[in-house]
Structures are given as structure tokens and as C-alpha cells.
């Protein structure tokens, strides 16, 4: 990718949504912000509008830092805190709205990517970062790689510091987020009897003047954070602990009221250098790196499993079975090839949902009273897109049976739909019959199809199509001659061994 490429980085916070157009070297070229909201649909609309305002022909990709648990390899938000985007397919929907590839990750991971590339973590092999804002985020890097566990490691804001403490959005009690976030600081101030307009800088000034009330607030805020830092140091033994986001510098200053005491768990603690810009910079750099099909900035990608097809935006983890994404059985064949019968038989035997072009298209033709052939083609393209939109909204691990003549649109269009829908693996069932059989089948069902489908005049074209039509040969392929009894037992066994196997 040329160095002149740009990306749009988006940082989703509990209070603000930040977006910026960033150069390939991490320079902020333009920026805007909006208020955040608890409604995920409203957040998506605001993000899409910010992207529209920042977009330009040089923008190659979009990166988004999301609060909460994010499986970056699957491109899925699993849960959130103050802004919960788990109920929408954020990446897929924004890709559909913008036409740009979208990469998502936890917001703290994105911030740490930026600090490693341009900020306080440059040159360090092992770094831990806490982001102090509306909530508390966390990220861990070892050997300059983000630690992900099976998908969502590094949730440092949910280290328990008081088992009898405040209820947390995660469902437990006493997480450090409940004691040492910006929200928690507001609670400490209110419980001390001070007004909501008292800022952290005013607390420091009052503390310097000998105010014991201010000192008590700062100690209540910083003490649990120190315990969480010490726990993290005991677990990971990093070179450096960073405190970032809007209150990172203040939290670093407040830790002077809560020094590390345990001799085993000493580690330098510093304020991050990029402040609130870290999220948008890291998100954009991550998006550009993924778009270029290389490892994220400063983070070498793990060696892929040679037995699996690479999926854009996802990285394999050595020694660990990948979490399954969505999968699809592509039942392929030209009109009248018998693919609908095969599709229904597979869906019934495997228990997988079936999506077919005609199932989506025909109700529109019936309601609208048909149309000419060009209208039918347009409706077919829209139905094709609708199928993959439905797949993209399904939970990770879902398997769909998709009935279509996949040759009616360019191959790249299919690949784009699969990528946006998060389909990691496909298997193909190729249905075919001699051209004379296809012509007779098509003629026999002319009066059964809604107005708008091609009529008898299409039959010569169908015969010619039968002579040149070929399977996609995308992944495993099972050939079905539909003039013979369909061996559904054999198909079932084959699917269980190929696409349904526990990978």
C-alpha cells in the first residue's frame, strides 16, 4: 500500500465519539467528534455520518476502537459497558454503508498500537496499558504482540479490587472500573459532599493546600488502581505500565498518593503520550496495516495455519484452534439444475437455515406485479445482497445453506459479500444436468413462476449457458448429477467432514 494512503480512525467512548482522517505515518489530517449515546443504532448513525464527512478518495480503510469485549479476529463485538454495540453487526453494517473495509478491535488495544508506534511505548517489548475514561480499558502486549487469549484477553478494568464493592456492568462487584474510572471519581466527589462541578485539577489544588477532603478523594480513587497495577505486574512482568485516555495523566499524578509497596511488583508507570488521540491514530494504523495484508503496526502477525484459507482482517494464533466464524454451503447451478431440491434436502437433514434468491425475490415480484428482465436482474442483485446481509447478522459459528446460481454476478462480488458477512469457510455443491433436460424442466414450470421471471424465450439462452457453466471451485466441491437419485446420505457425510467438522 502506498505511503500516501489514508484511513479513518474512530474511537468510541462512553462520553464522546471521535473520528479522524489519518495519514499512513499517523498524522492527524482532519478530525471531528460527536456525543456518544447508549443506543447502538444511534451510535452507528453518528459514526456513519462522521465517516461521510471525513471520507476522501485516498481513504483506504476504516478502523474502530470499541469499548468492551471485542473479538478482532472475527470482527465481532461480544459485549460492551457504557456503550454496548454487541447487538449490531458493527463492522459489516458500516462496510455496507461506506463501501470501505472496516477493522474493529478493543479501544485500548487500538490506543496501545498508537503508543507503540508513535508514543510512550516505542522500543518496549512488553507493555501494559490502562485507559482511564468513563470506564477503564486495558491492553497487554508481550513480545510486541497484543495478548488476546482465545479472543478477548486484556480486560484490565475488570480486575477485582473489592469483592464486596460496587456492582459493575460486567455482572461482578468491585472491579477497578467501579473505583478508579472517571465515573467512579464523580461518585467519590459526590459522596464527599462536593458539587459535580469540582474537577480533578481542583482536587489536586485543594490537596496541595492541605485539604484532607480532597486528599481522601484522590486516595480513594488511586488506591484501587495501584492494586490493579500491582496485580497486572505480578501476572505479566512488563517493561512498562501506561495510563492513557482523558484521565490518564491525572491518574498517574494521583498514584503519588498510593505508591507501590510490594517489593516484588515494581514496574515503571508512565502517562501515555498521545492522550485522547491515541484511539483514532491506533485504529487508523491498524486499518491500514490490515488492508495491506500485513501485521498490525508494531505487532508481528502469528504464523498462519497452512491448512486454512486466510481471511482478511483476521490472524491465526499458533497452537490454538480458531474460533469458528460463519460458514456457508453454496448450492450452485444454473436455473432448472435442481439446486433448490438439493438445498432443501440439505437444510432438512442438517438443520441449517436455507437462504435462496427466489425466496427473497418472488414476494417482491408478486406484490409489484412483475417487471421486465432488467428489473428482474436488478431485483436479483438486491436479493443477493440481502442474503449476505442476513448471514452477516447471524451469530458467529452459524452455518447457512445458500441456493443461487453464483455465476450470475462477478466472482469478486461474491468474495466481497463473503468478507463483509464474516464467512470464513465455504463448501460448494455443484448441481447440473444435460442441456436438454434443463430446457424441458424450465418449460414445464413456466406457469408456476411469478410474472417477471424470463419466459420461454429464455430457453435457448439457458441451453447455451449449460454448455459453458462451471462450478466456482471455491473450497471443497461435491458434484451432483440431478438426473440421478440424489445421494443425500453421502452429501450429509461429506458436509459433516468438511464444513461442519470441529476445526
User: Domain with 482 in it: what CATH number?
Assistant: 3.40.50.300
Please indicate, yes or no, whether residues 15 and 62 belong to a single structural domain of this protein.
Answer: yes
Contacts of 352 (CB under 8 A, 6+ apart): 329, 346, 399, 400, 401
- Nine cell digits for residue 228: 490493579
Which residue is listed with cell 500500500? 1
- Residue 262 forms part of a structural domain: yes
Please indicate, yes or no, whether residues 180 and 53 belong to a single structural domain of this protein.
Answer: no
Please indicate, yes or no, whether residues 39 and 75 belong to a single structural domain of this protein.
Answer: yes
- Per the structure, the count of domains in the chain is 3
Average pLDDT, the chain: 86
- Residue 383 forms part of a structural domain: yes
Chosen domain end from 204, 236, 271 = 271
- Residue 112 forms part of a structural domain: no
- Nine cell digits for residue 68: 468492551
Q: Beginning with the edge strand found earlier in the chain, give each strand of the sheet holding 28-35 in spatial order.
A: 28-35, 16-23, 6-12, 59-66, 102-106
- Nine cell digits for residue 360: 427473497
Please indicate, yes or no, whether residues 366 and 285 belong to a single structural domain of this protein.
Answer: no
Please indicate, yes or no, whether residues 335 and 448 belong to a single structural domain of this protein.
Answer: yes
The CATH number for 284's domain is 3.30.420.40
Q: How far apart are CA 83 and CA 70, in angstroms?
A: 13
pLDDT tens, residue by residue, 83-99: 788 888 888 889 888 88
User: Do 491 and 480 contact (CB within 8 A), yes or no?
Assistant: yes
- Nine cell digits for residue 408: 450470475
Maximum CA extent, the chain: 96
Please indicate, yes or no, whether residues 81 and 13 belong to a single structural domain of this protein.
Answer: yes
Please indicate, yes or no, whether residues 284 and 258 belong to a single structural domain of this protein.
Answer: no
Pairing of β 76-79 and β 69-71: antiparallel
User: Do 109 and 72 contact (CB within 8 A), yes or no?
Assistant: yes
Which H/E stretch holds residue 113?
helix 107-118
Q: What percent of the chain has pLDDT over 90?
A: 58
Could you give the C-alpha distances from 380 to 359, 364, 366, in angstroms and in order? Answer: 11, 11, 14
- Residue 114 forms part of a structural domain: no
Please indicate, yes or no, whether residues 34 and 171 belong to a single structural domain of this protein.
Answer: no
Angle at 301 between CA 297 and CA 277, to 5 degrees: 25
pLDDT at 227: 95
pLDDT at 328: 95
H-helix segments, 313-458: 339-350, 357-368, 373-393, 411-421, 435-444
- Residue 133 forms part of a structural domain: yes
Which one is predicted more confidently, 412 or 295? 412
- Residue 407 forms part of a structural domain: yes
Please indicate, yes or no, whether residues 416 and 480 belong to a single structural domain of this protein.
Answer: yes
How large is the average pLDDT for residues 258-278?
Answer: 89
- Residue 156 forms part of a structural domain: yes
Please indicate, yes or no, whether residues 267 and 281 belong to a single structural domain of this protein.
Answer: no
How large is the average pLDDT for residues 236-265?
Answer: 91
pLDDT tens, residue by residue, 195-250: 889 999 999 999 999 999 999 999 999 999 999 999 999 999 999 999 998 899 99
Beta-carbon neighbour count of residue 440 at 10 Å? 13
User: Do 379 and 364 contact (CB within 8 A), yes or no?
Assistant: yes
- Residue 408 forms part of a structural domain: yes
Pairing of β 16-23 and β 69-71: unpaired
Pairing of β 127-132 and β 136-142: antiparallel
Please indicate, yes or no, whether residues 360 and 387 belong to a single structural domain of this protein.
Answer: yes
Residue 304 pLDDT > 90: no
Pairing of β 59-66 and β 6-12: parallel
Q: What is the DSSP string of 286-337?
A: HHHHHHTTSPPTT-PPPPPPTTS---TT----TTSPPPP-EEEEEEE--TTS
State which residues form the domain around 476: 326-498
Please indicate, yes or no, whether residues 331 and 470 belong to a single structural domain of this protein.
Answer: yes
Residue 455 pLDDT > 90: no
How large is the average pLDDT for residues 400-415?
Answer: 88
Amino acid at each position: 500500500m502506498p505511503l500516501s494512503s489514508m484511513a479513518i480512525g474512530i474511537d468510541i467512548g462512553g462520553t464522546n465519539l471521535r473520528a479522524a482522517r489519518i495519514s499512513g505515518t499517523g498524522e492527524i489530517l482532519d478530525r471531528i467528534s460527536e456525543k456518544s449515546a447508549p443506543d447502538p443504532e444511534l451510535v452507528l448513525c453518528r459514526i456513519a455520518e462522521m465517516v461521510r464527512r471525513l471520507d476522501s478518495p485516498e481513504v483506504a480503510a476504516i478502523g474502530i476502537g470499541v469499548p468492551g469485549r471485542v473479538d478482532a479476529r472475527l470482527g465481532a463485538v461480544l459485549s460492551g459497558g457504557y456503550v454496548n454495540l454487541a447487538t449490531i453487526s458493527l463492522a459489516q453494517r458500516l462496510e455496507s454503508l461506506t463501501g470501505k473495509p472496516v477493522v474493529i478491535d478493543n479501544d485500548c488495544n487500538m490506543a496501545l498500537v498508537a503508543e507503540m508506534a508513535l508514543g510512550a511505548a516505542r522500543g518496549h517489548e512488553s507493555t501494559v496499558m490502562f485507559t482511564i475514561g468513563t470506564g477503564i480499558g486495558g491492553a497487554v502486549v508481550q513480545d510486541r504482540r497484543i495478548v488476546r487469549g482465545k479472543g478477548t484477553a486484556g480486560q484490565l478494568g475488570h480486575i477485582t479490587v473489592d469483592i464486596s464493592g460496587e456492582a459493575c456492568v460486567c455482572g461482578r462487584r468491585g472491579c477497578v472500573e467501579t473505583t478508579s474510572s472517571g465515573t467512579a471519581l464523580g461518585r467519590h466527589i459526590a459522596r464527599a459532599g462536593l458539587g459535580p462541578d469540582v474537577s480533578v485539577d481542583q482536587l489536586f489544588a485543594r490537596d496541595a493546600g492541605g485539604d484532607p477532603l480532597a486528599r481522601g478523594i484522590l486516595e480513594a480513587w488511586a488506591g484501587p488502581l495501584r492494586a490493579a497495577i500491582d496485580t497486572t505486574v505480578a501476572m505479566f512482568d512488563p517493561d512498562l505500565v501506561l495510563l492513557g485516555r482523558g484521565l490518564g495523566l491525572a491518574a498517574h499524578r494521583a498514584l503519588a498518593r498510593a505508591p507501590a509497596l510490594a517489593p516484588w511488583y515494581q514496574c515503571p508507570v508512565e502517562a501515555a503520550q498521545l492522550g485522547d488521540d491515541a484511539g483514532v491514530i491506533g485504529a487508523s494504523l491498524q486499518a491500514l496495516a490490515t488492508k495491506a495484508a500485513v501485521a498490525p503496526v508494531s505487532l508481528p502477525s502469528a504464523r498462519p495455519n497452512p491448512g486454512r484459507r486466510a481471511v482478511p482482517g483476521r490472524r491465526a494464533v499458533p497452537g490454538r484452534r480458531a474460533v469458528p466464524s460463519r460458514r456457508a454451503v453454496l448450492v450452485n447451478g444454473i436455473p432448472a439444475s435442481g439446486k433448490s431440491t438439493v438445498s432443501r434436502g440439505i437444510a432438512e437433514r442438517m438443520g441449517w437455515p436455507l437462504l435462496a434468491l427466489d425466496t427473497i425475490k418472488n414476494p417482491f415480484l408478486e406484490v409489484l406485479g412483475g417487471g421486465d428482465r432488467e428489473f428482474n436482474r436488478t431485483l436479483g442483485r438486491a436479493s443477493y445482497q440481502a442474503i449476505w446481509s442476513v448471514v452477516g447478522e447471524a451469530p458467529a459459528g452459524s452455518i447457512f445453506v445458500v441456493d443461487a446460481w453464483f455465476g450470475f454476478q462477478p466472482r469478486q462480488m461474491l468474495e466481497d459479500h463473503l468478507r463483509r458477512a464474516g464467512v470464513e469457510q465455504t463448501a460448494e455443491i455443484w448441481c447440473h444436468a444435460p442441456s436438454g433436460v434443463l430446457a424441458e424442466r424450465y418449460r414445464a414450470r413456466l406457469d408456476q413462476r411469478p410474472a417477471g421471471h424470463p419466459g420461454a424465450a429464455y430457453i435457448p439462452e439457458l441451453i447455451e449457458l449449460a454448455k459453458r457453466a462451471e462450478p466456482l471451485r471455491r473450497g471443497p466441491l461435491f458434484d451432483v448429477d440431478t438426473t440421478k437419485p440424489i445421494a443425500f446420505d453421502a452429501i450429509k457425510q461429506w458436509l459433516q467432514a468438511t464444513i461442519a467438522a470441529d476445526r
